[in-house]
Amino acid sequence: KQEVTQIPAALSVPEGENLVLNCSFTDSAIYNLQWFRQDPGKGLTSLLLIQSSQREQTSGRLNASLDKSSGRSTLYIAASQPGDSATYLCAVHDDYKLSFGAGTTVTVRA
């Protein structure tokens, strides 16, 4: 059974600092890995999708890496802004389902 762990559970940084969010998973037989953002009381917004054959994906200030063999992914957010405050969820896609981590709640202080 796939287990997804996200570290740290919470993070508070001053504006402008770079963010590093970690995700690990136990079963490397995955189709892809997806990072989502969830604002309080809202739905899930997809940030980045990394296919199992890829090593990284980039979108603007966001960069995600994937090391499938070691079961790890890292989401980097450059030059953080108060608008980046949210919960970030890592999810791995295997065998007709997406397994989620518990999330990292990020607060960016102005």
Q: Residue 14: is the preceding peptide bond cis (ω within 30°)?
A: no
Should residue 97 be labelled a site residue for another protein when binding is judged by CB under 8 A?
A: yes
CB 109 within 8 A of CB 13: yes
17 or 85: CB nearest another protein? 85
* Per-residue contact flags (x/-) with another protein for residues 48 to 87, judged by CB under 8 A: -x-x-----------------------------------x
- Residue 49 CB, nearest distance to another protein (Å)? 4
Contact pick of 6, 23, 24, 34 for another protein (by CB under 8 A): 34
For residues 12 and 67, give the distance between their C-alpha atoms in angstroms, rounded to a whole number.
Answer: 26
Q: Which parts of this chain interact with another protein (CB under 8 A)? A: 31-32, 34, 36, 38, 42-44, 46, 49, 51, 87, 89, 91, 93, 96-100, 102-103
